[in-house]
C-alpha cells in the first residue's frame, strides 16, 4: 500500500535503474560520494515542497531509526545540500547508491512534517509522501483508503483510478467470491483457484515473474543433516517438477540456483534431480547409521504450499527409509524463535525470501553468511571463504557491477557444493481482477511487492 503513497529517488525496472524523484546521478571513482539531481516541481501531499533539505532529513531519519530497513543506510555519513535540487551523499564505504535508492522499502522519501510528528505517529497509520495517492483512512487489520493526490507531479489521465479501498479479507474463498461477483476488484487468490477463475466471466488473471523464491534450509550443524552426503541425499528426494505442478499449481518455475533467475548476479546450475536410487546411494555413503535416518521438518501452517510440499517430501523420503517428522507451527514468530537457537532448531524448515533492493547480497548475506546470533541463516551455514566472497561482492557493487556479479556467482558455487538448502521454486506473483481494469500486466514489477495503482485505469 505505502508504495503508492511514498516514492523513491530511483526506480528499478526491466533490469535498469531509472529516474523517479531523482533525474540524474553521478558517483565518485571510489563509490563513496554520489551527487544527485532532484526533480523540480514536486510537492508533498501536505503541499510542502520536495527539495534537497527534505531528502536529507528523510534519509538521515531512516538511518537513525535503528530498526526496519535502517541497515540500508548504515554507511551514510551525511547529505550535503549545495542547492535546493542537488543532494550530495557521503558514505563511509562504497555503495551502489542507485540500487539502494530504488529499494522497495526503506528508501521512501518522507515529508518533513511527518518526520517531525514522529515514528509513533506514522506507525499509527499516518503517511505523507510525494506519491500519486494520499492515505486518507487506516483501520488496522481491516481497512485502508487511498485517495488521488491532485497535485501529483506525474499528472493524471482520464480513466485512472482515483480511489482505492483496501480491505483485509483473510478467507481465500471469500476473496474468490468477491472477484467473481463484484466490479473493480483486485485480489490475491490461492494458486489452486486460478485455473477455475480464468474460465469465469468478467474475471482476468495477471501474472508475472517476481523476486520471491522458496527454499528449504537444511541445518548444517544438527545431526544428521550436519553430514554433507546426507544433505545431498535429501536434495535428490525433492521432486521439484511434481511439487511445482501439484503444490504451486504451475505458478512457479524450477530455479537455476540459490537466487531467482531474474536477479542480476545469479548463478546458473544443474540442480539435483529427483532420484531415489542416487539418494539411497548417498545415504549409505554418508556413514550415518540407518537407525538415524530421521529428521525433523518444521513449517508454518499459514501457507498451504509449505504443508503440501513437506508432505510430498515426507512420502518420497519414506520410500528410501528416511523418516521425516513434520512439526507444524501456527505462528511464524514462534517458529522463528525456535529456529534461531541451535538447541531448539530443526533439521529442515522453509523460507520465502524477497530482497530489500536489487542485490544478490540480500539472500547471500542474510540467509547464508556466518551469524553468531542467527537471524535468518536457518541452515547455520558457516564458511569463511563464502563470507569473504560475499563481503567482496558487496564492496564491489558501488564500483564495478560486473566484478560484483562474478564474486556473487563464486559464492553461489560454494552453496551448490555444500547443499545448505533445497532450492525449491522461483515464485510467480498472480492477481485475479475484474476484467474492466486495464494495465494490470504492466503494473507488475518483479522488483517490488507493490501493485502500482497509478498504472491502472478503468476501461471505458
Q: 63-107 pLDDT, tens per residue?
A: 999 888 899 999 999 999 999 999 999 999 999 999 999 999 889
Angstrom distance (rounded) from CA 178 to CA 189: 11
Contacts of 182 (CB under 8 A, 6+ apart): 434
Q: 5-38 pLDDT, tens per residue?
A: 999 999 999 899 999 999 999 999 999 999 999 9
- What pLDDT does 442 receive? 85
Q: How confident is the model at residue 196 (pLDDT cuts 50, 70, 90)?
A: confident
Q: 416-430 pLDDT, tens per residue?
A: 999 999 999 998 888
- What pLDDT does 193 receive? 87
454 is written with which cell numbers?
A: 497509478
Q: Of 247, 234, 250, 246, whose CA–CA distance to 294 is shortest? A: 234
41 is written with which cell numbers?
A: 516541481
Q: How confident is the model at residue 452 (pLDDT cuts 50, 70, 90)?
A: very high
Please name each of the domains of the chain with its CATH number.
2-123 (3.90.76.10), 210-427 (3.10.105.10)
Q: 321-335 pLDDT, tens per residue?
A: 999 999 999 999 999
Mean pLDDT of 29-49: 97
Has residue 138 got a pLDDT over 80? yes
- What pLDDT does 443 receive? 86
280 is written with which cell numbers?
A: 539411497
Half-sphere exposure of 280 (CA within 13 A, CB side): 8
Q: Beta strands 323-329 and 294-300: pairing type?
A: parallel
- What pLDDT does 30 receive? 95
CB pairs under 8 A, 24+ apart, for 304-312?
304/190, 305/191, 305/214, 305/247, 305/248, 306/350, 308/243, 308/246, 308/247, 309/216, 309/243, 309/247, 309/350, 309/424, 310/350, 312/239, 312/242, 312/243, 312/246, 312/247
Q: How far is CA 45 from the centre of its chain?
A: 28
Has residue 43 got a pLDDT over 80? yes
What are the residues facing 186 on neighbouring strands?
433
Angstrom distance (rounded) from CA 340 to CA 351: 13
What are the residues facing 26 on neighbouring strands?
35
Has residue 460 got a pLDDT over 80? no
Q: How confident is the model at residue 355 (pLDDT cuts 50, 70, 90)?
A: very high
Decide which of 183 and 228 is more confident: 228
Q: 106-135 pLDDT, tens per residue?
A: 899 999 999 999 999 999 999 999 999 999
Q: What is the DSSP letter of 254?
A: -
pTM of the model: 0.91
51 is written with which cell numbers?
A: 527539495
Q: 251-294 pLDDT, tens per residue?
A: 899 999 999 998 999 999 999 999 999 999 999 999 999 999 99
Contacts of 391 (CB under 8 A, 6+ apart): none
386 close to 101: Cβ distance less than 8 angstroms: no
- What pLDDT does 172 receive? 86
Which residue shows C-alpha cell 521512501? 108
Q: Of 409, 416, 344, 354, whose CA–CA distance to 378 is shortest? A: 344
166 is written with which cell numbers?
A: 483496501
Angstrom distance (rounded) from CA 425 to CA 184: 31
Least confident of 48-52, 197-201, 263-267, 363-367: 197-201
Q: Of 456, 432, 438, 440, whose CA–CA distance to 161 is shortest? A: 456
Q: 392-443 pLDDT, tens per residue?
A: 999 999 999 999 999 999 999 999 999 999 999 998 888 999 999 999 988 8
Name the E strands within 382-458: 421-434, 437-438, 457-458
Preceding omega of 224 cis (within 30 degrees of 0): yes
3-state helix, strand, coil in the chain (%, to 5): 35, 25, 40
- What pLDDT does 195 receive? 86
The dihedral formed by the CA atoms of 193, 196, 200 and 202, expressed in degrees to the nearest 10? 40
Neighbours of 455 (CB within 10 A): 17
Amino acid at each position: 500500500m505505502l508504495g503508492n503513497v511514498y516514492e523513491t529517488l530511483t526506480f528499478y525496472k526491466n533490469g535498469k535503474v531509472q529516474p523517479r524523484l531523482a533525474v540524474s546521478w553521478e558517483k565518485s571513482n571510489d563509490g563513496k560520494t554520489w551527487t544527485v539531481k532532484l526533480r523540480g516541481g514536486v510537492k508533498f501531499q501536505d503541499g510542502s515542497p520536495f527539495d534537497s533539505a527534505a531528502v536529507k532529513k528523510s534519509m538521515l531519519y531512516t538511518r537513525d531509526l535503528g530498526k526496519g530497513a535502517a541497515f540500508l543506510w548504515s554507511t551514510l555519513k551525511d547529505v550535503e545540500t549545495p542547492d535546493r535540487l542537488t543532494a550530495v551523499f557521503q558514505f563511509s564505504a562504497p555503495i551502489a547508491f542507485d540500487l539502494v535508492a530504488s529499494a522497495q522499502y526503506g528508501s521512501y522519501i518522507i515529508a518533513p512534517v511527518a518526520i517531525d510528528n514522529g515514528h509513533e505517529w506514522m506507525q499509527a497509520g499516518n503517511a505523507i509522501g510525494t506519491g500519486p495517492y494520499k492515505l486518507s483512512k487506516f483501520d488496522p487489520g481491516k481497512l485502508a483508503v487511498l485517495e488521488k493526490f491532485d497535485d501529483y507531479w506525474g499528472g493524471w489521465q482520464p480513466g485512472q483510478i482515483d480511489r482505492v479501498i483496501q480491505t483485509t479479507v483473510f478467507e481465500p474463498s471469500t476473496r474468490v467470491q468477491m472477484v467473481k461477483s463484484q466490479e473493480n476488484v483486485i485480489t490475491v487468490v490461492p494458486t489452486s483457484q486460478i485455473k477455475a477463475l480464468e474460465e469465469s466471466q468478467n474475471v482476468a488473471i495477471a501474472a508475472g515473474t517476481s523476486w520471491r523464491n522458496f527454499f528449504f534450509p537444511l541445518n548444517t550443524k544438527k545431526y544428521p543433516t550436519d553430514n554433507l552426503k546426507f544433505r545431498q541425499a535429501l536434495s535428490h528426494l525433492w521432486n521439484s517438477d511434481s511439487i511445482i505442478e501439484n503444490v504451486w499449481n504451475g505458478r512457479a518455475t524450477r530455479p537455476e540456483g540459490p537466487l531467482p533467475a531474474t536477479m542480476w548476479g545469479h548463478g546458473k546450475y544443474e540442480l539435483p534431480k529427483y532420484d531415489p536410487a542416487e539418494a539411497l546411494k548417498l545415504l549409505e555413503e554418508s556413514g550415518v547409521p540407518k537407525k538415524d535416518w530421521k529428521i525433523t521438518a518444521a513449517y508454518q501452517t499459514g501457507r498451504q504450499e509449505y504443508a503440501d510440499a513437506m508432505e510430498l517430501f515426507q512420502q518420497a523420503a519414506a520410500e528410501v527409509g528416511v523418516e521425516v517428522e513434520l512439526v507444524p507451527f501456527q505462528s511464524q514468530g514462534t517458529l522463528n524463535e525456535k529456529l534461531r537457537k541451535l538447541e531448539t532448531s530443526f533439521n529442515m524448515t522453509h523460507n520465502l525470501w524477497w530482497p530489500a533492493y536489487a542485490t544478490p547480497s540480500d539472500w547471500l548475506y542474510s540467509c547464508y553468511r556466518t551469524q553468531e546470533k542467527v537471524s535468518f541463516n536457518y541452515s547455520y551455514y558457516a564458511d569463511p571463504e563464502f563470507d569473504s566472497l560475499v563481503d567482496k561482492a558487496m564492496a564491489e557493487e558501488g564500483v564495478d557491477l560486473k566484478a560484483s556479479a562474478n564474486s556473487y556467482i563464486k559464492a553461489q558455487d560454494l552453496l551448490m557444493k555444500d547443499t545448505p538448502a533445497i532450492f525449491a521454486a522461483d515464485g510467480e506473483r498472480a492477481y485475479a481482477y475484474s476484467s474492466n481494469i486495464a494495465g494490470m500486466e504492466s503494473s507488475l514489477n518483479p522488483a517490488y511487492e507493490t501493485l502500482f495503482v497509478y498504472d491502472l485505469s478503468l476501461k471505458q
